[in-house]
């Protein structure tokens, strides 16, 4: 007896998805509610769980195929691990069993099998010359992520170990190309960002911030803060609260154009740009203007973990009135971030570095950060944008303003 596995409901206004990866191969035992496939929608990756326990039957759609809600994508056969042979319609295993027994290798895990690595991880493994069997996966169910491969490469470089390519090196004069189909998420990112350029009158204003006061406050209270709240005190909570001050003073920066109307929000739903294995995502911290530092840090940390595990939902990213993007974590010195439609502004943060500045007629060294505010000039005037960014700068340079709402 076989059970059909269908594409689940994907969320409001989402009718189709792409098979991103099969997590179970024909013939493998499957437990109840165990993930068997990963689907990529326009916004998130969604795992399809088995509705019964049994043995993985046939894959009725290949990786990369587009499927609709309700479509049958696989079958689960009745039986346990002993009944591992799929029906004739199911694809045969890629590798035949060896003629002689082979001792198991404990260091290698199922997630290190090239057949179950995602395309991004396979490319990273080849690029850095890392044996996937030596990598401990931090993704869901121990799967290897691209970040795991990069971390392993950095660790090997720091130890001075030689780089050994995972495959036979190509001749020096050989030129190669690789064509990889864009994921549905990457296609959506491309469309939305290009739409922002086409529809909005984009402009960016810059300023720099002396981070001395915030760094001193963080160093002074970080241990007691973590002990009391169970989360680390970072810089994002300071910038989130500073942004709330600016948006309250300059409502246009927290507004949107909808048709021929301008909608002003009396709340701040903060979209936080997070790097996930499949691309950039922007989960929303709701009512951040009413939250304390600890609540903000917890919300951002939870979203960061969910993004890394591929567990973000459509609801996590719905809405948002203003965005903060932190390119500084990757070492970016300055950028012109693109707004997240239909929002009208985005704050870009960058790396902190010691620079000479003039204070009271003296040249001193201070930890400085460039900040940028990209905005839609159709709704936000230059004076409003500059004033909002200046308000954020002043609040960061004197965090007391965050306490007295000034």
Q: What is the pLDDT of residues 235-272, one digit of tens each?
A: 999 999 999 999 999 999 999 999 899 999 999 999 99
Domain positions in the chain: 1-100, 103-181, 189-404
| Residues 31 and 52: beta-carbon distance below 8 Å | no
Q: Is the pLDDT of residue 167 over 60?
A: no
Tokens of 56: 């993985």
Instruction: Supply the mean pLDDT for the chain.
Output: 82
Cα 66 from chain centroid? 22
Q: What is the DSSP letter of 282?
A: -
Highest average pLDDT, of 35-49, 291-305, 307-321, comes from: 291-305
- Please state which CATH number belongs to domain 1-100: 2.40.50.100
- CB-facing half-sphere around the CA of 267: CA atoms within 13 A: 11
Model confidence at 115: pLDDT above 50: no
**Confidence at residue 175, expressed as pLDDT on a 0 to 100 scale:** 86
Helix (H, G, I), strand (E, B) or coil at 357: strand
Per-residue pLDDT for 361 more than 80?
A: yes
Q: How many C-beta atoms lie closer than 10 Å to residue 240's C-beta?
A: 25
Going by pLDDT thresholds of 50, 70 and 90, the confidence category of residue 80 is low
Judge whether 381 counts as a catalytic residue. Answer: yes
Q: Are 28 and 85 a contacting pair, CB within 8 Å?
A: no
State the burial class of residue 259 (Cβ atoms within 10 Å of its Cβ: 0-12, 13-18, 19+).
exposed
Pairing mode of beta strands 261-264, 255-258: antiparallel
**Unique residue bearing structure tokens 């591929």:** 310
Is 339 in contact with 346 (CB distance < 8 Å)?
yes
Given the residues 223, 381, 398, 405, the one annotated as active site: 381
CATH class of 189-404: alpha beta
Give the contacts of 99 (CB within 8 A, at least 6 positions apart).
none
Is 189-404 the same fold as 1-100?
Answer: no
- For 149, the token pair is 């491969």
- Cα separation, 406 vs 400, in Å, equals 8
273-308 as b/e: b if 16+ CB within 10 A = bbbbbbbebbbbbbebbebebbbbbbbbeebeebbb
Choosing from 223, 377, 398, 405, which is the catalytic residue? 377
Rounded Cα gap, residues 185 and 245, in angstroms: 33
pLDDT at 20 over 60: yes
**Spatial separation of the C-alpha atoms in residues 200 and 196, rounded to whole Å:** 6
295 is catalytic: no
Please tell me the predicted confidence (pLDDT) of residue 43.
Answer: 63
Q: Give pLDDT tens digits for 55-74.
A: 888 898 888 788 888 888 88
Share of the chain above pLDDT 70, in %: 83
């Amino acid at each position: 007896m076989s059970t059909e596995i269908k594409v689940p409901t994907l969320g409001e206004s989402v009718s189709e998805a792409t098979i991103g990866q099969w997590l179970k191969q024909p013939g493998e035992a499957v437990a109840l509610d165990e993930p068997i496939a990963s689907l990529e929608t326009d916004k998130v990756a969604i795992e399809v769980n088995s509705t019964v326990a049994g043995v993985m039957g046939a894959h009725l759609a290949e990786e990369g195929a587009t499927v609709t809600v309700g479509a049958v994508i696989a079958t689960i056969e009745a039986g346990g691990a002993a009944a591992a042979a799929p029906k004739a319609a199911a694809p045969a295993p890629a590798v035949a069993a060896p003629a002689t027994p082979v001792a198991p290798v404990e260091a290698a895990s199922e997630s290190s099998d090239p057949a179950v690595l995602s395309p991004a991880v396979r490319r990273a493994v080849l690029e850095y010359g890392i044996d996937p069997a030596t990598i401990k996966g931090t993704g869901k169910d121990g799967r290897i992520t691209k970040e795991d491969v990069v971390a392993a490469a950095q660790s090997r470089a720091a130890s001075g170990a030689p780089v050994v390519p995972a495959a036979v090196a190509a001749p020096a004069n050989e030129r190669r190309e690789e064509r990889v189909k864009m994921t549905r998420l990457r296609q959506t990112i491309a469309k939305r960002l290009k739409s922002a350029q086409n529809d909005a009158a984009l402009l960016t204003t810059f300023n720099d911030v002396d981070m001395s006061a915030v760094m001193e406050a963080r160093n002074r209270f970080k241990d007691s803060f973590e002990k009391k709240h169970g989360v680390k005190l970072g810089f994002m909570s300071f910038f989130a609260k500073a942004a709330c001050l600016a948006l309250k003073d300059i409502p246009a920066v927290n507004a949107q154009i909808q048709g021929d109307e301008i909608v002003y929000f009396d709340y701040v739903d903060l979209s936080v740009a997070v790097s996930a294995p499949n691309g950039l995502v922007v989960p929303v911290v709701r009512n951040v203007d009413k939250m304390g530092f600890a609540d903000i840090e917890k919300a951002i940390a939870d979203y960061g973990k969910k993004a890394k595990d591929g567990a973000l939902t459509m609801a996590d990213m719905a809405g948002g009135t203003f965005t903060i993007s932190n390119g500084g974590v990757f070492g970016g010195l300055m950028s012109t971030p693109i707004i997240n439609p239909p929002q009208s502004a985005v704050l870009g943060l960058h790396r902190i570095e010691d620079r000479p500045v003039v204070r009271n007629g003296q040249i001193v060294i201070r930890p400085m950060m460039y900040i940028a505010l990209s905005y839609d000039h159709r709704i936000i005037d230059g004076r409003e944008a500059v004033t909002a960014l200046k308000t954020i700068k002043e609040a960061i340079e004197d965090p007391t303003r965050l306490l007295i709402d000034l």
